[in-house]
Amino acid sequence: MSTQKKAKNSRLPRRRRKSARRLPRAVTVAVPVPKRTTDVITERTYVTTEPTIEIRKPATLAQALTEPAIAVVRPRSRVRKQIIIRTRRSA
């Protein structure tokens, strides 16, 4: 019994002729150059106090039967941040 080996397929690309290969033409495009800008970022914080209504209820059943719920006005402070972004162009 004779053993025959299969011929390996080469994975190298086939050679092309130099005349068949086409190179792309150089294209020139005028790109506008943007002016230099500087971003100025300022952050402002505002602290505001607003009144809130809190209802205090009795803790136990015995207190609930004898004492009513009480509405209390409490001040609540909020901190709000405002970020302002501006661009400055250099002269």
pLDDT tens track, the chain, 91 positions: 567 776 666 666 666 555 556 667 777 888 888 777 788 889 999 999 999 999 999 999 999 999 999 999 999 999 999 998 888 776 5
pTM: 0.35
CB environment 54-80: b (16+ within 10 A), e (fewer): eeeeeeeeeeeeeeeeeeeeeeeeeee
